[in-house]
């Protein structure tokens, strides 16, 4: 086991409600404004770009000690829940696209996996390629967007890792299951991921090295809880990395 405590990277909150310190306004591609009424009428919009007044984005390379880096805040300016499929490009300090850098996400907003409620959502970006130190911002384009019916959820689902004896442990420990608590009155559906983080140099942001889904789509009853086992690939990864690499267990609204 390592002699020093692992970096604390797990804390998160809705960055849409935070002060703008460290925030970078995301570059957006204008492609004709689409009224939400049109979205509602057909359910799904898709094509080269689906750019409208429904969503806006902010990129936070770092939010200080103890918080995840490379956060993408997604603000929803309507009273309806939507599922976007985002395309992301890394930009340098001049707003120029870095062609040798690819951008993916931890939760899957680039794959239509994240439900953006009226009070917003958050994802975490992963950059791959050469010259990652040149990444200064991101451009976000909604390639597709679907308006869906989703229960009203004022608060996020909470997680509690448990060891083999059922005792509460930290995210950096070896745990065998995770209890999901839903404090909202209505049942919700979520996905759960186990994240292994890198340990970056002092002048670099931290990013996910490995993202492992835990189970599939999970339904959590209103004012209730459900216990999810850490089995399969997630169980194998945590056996190898627990205590040796900083880790997180994160839950997010999905469908």
Q: Rounded to the nearest 5 degrees, what angle is found at the Cα of 92, between the Cα atoms of 57 and 23?
A: 35
User: What is the C-alpha separation between 233 and 214, in angstroms, rounded?
Assistant: 8
> Residue 194: pLDDT above 90?
yes
The mean per-residue pLDDT over the stretch 82-99 comes to 97
Radius of gyration from C-alpha coordinates of the chain: 18
Predicted confidence at residue 220, as pLDDT, reads 98
The mean per-residue pLDDT over the stretch 76-99 comes to 96
> Residue 7: pLDDT above 90?
no
The mean per-residue pLDDT over the stretch 23-40 comes to 41
The pLDDT-based confidence of 47 (bands split at 50, 70, 90) is very low
> Residue 32: pLDDT above 90?
no
Domain boundaries, the chain: 15-148, 158-253
The mean per-residue pLDDT over the stretch 132-160 comes to 96
> Residue 110: pLDDT above 70?
yes
> Residue 44: pLDDT above 80?
no
The pLDDT-based confidence of 64 (bands split at 50, 70, 90) is confident
> Residue 79: pLDDT above 80?
yes
Q: Which segment of 61-75, 76-90, 117-131, 170-184 scores lowest on mean pLDDT?
A: 61-75
Predicted confidence at residue 202, as pLDDT, reads 84
DSSP string, 65-86: TTB-SSEEEEEE-SSSEEEEEE
């Amino acid at each position: 086991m390592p002699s020093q405590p692992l970096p604390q990277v797990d804390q998160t909150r809705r960055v849409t409600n935070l002060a703008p310190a460290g925030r970078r306004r995301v570059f957006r591609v204008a492609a004709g404004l689409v009224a939400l009424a049109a979205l509602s009428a057909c359910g799904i919009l898709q094509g080269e770009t689906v750019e409208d007044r429904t969503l806006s984005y902010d990129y936070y390379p770092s939010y200080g000690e103890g918080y995840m880096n490379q956060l993408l805040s997604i603000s929803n300016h309507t009273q309806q829940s939507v599922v976007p499929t985002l395309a992301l490009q890394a930009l340098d300090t001049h707003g120029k696209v870095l062609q040798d850098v690819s951008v993916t996400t931890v939760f899957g907003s680039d794959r239509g996996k994240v439900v953006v409620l009226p009070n917003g959502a958050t994802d975490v970006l992963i950059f791959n390629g050469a010259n990652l130190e040149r990444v200064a911002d991101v451009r976000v384009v909604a390639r597709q967007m679907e308006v869906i019916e989703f229960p009203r959820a004022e608060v996020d689902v909470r997680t509690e890792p448990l060891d083999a004896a059922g005792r509460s442990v930290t995210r950096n420990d070896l745990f065998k299951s995770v209890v999901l608590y839903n404090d909202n009155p209505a049942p919700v559906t979520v996905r759960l991921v186990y994240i292994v983080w890198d340990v970056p140099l002092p002048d670099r942001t931290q990013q996910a090295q490995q993202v492992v889904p835990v189970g599939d789509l999970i339904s959590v009853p209103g004012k209730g809880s459900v216990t999810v086992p850490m089995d399969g690939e997630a169980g194998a990864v945590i056996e190898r990395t627990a205590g040796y690499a900083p880790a997180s267990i994160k839950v997010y609204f999905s469908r």
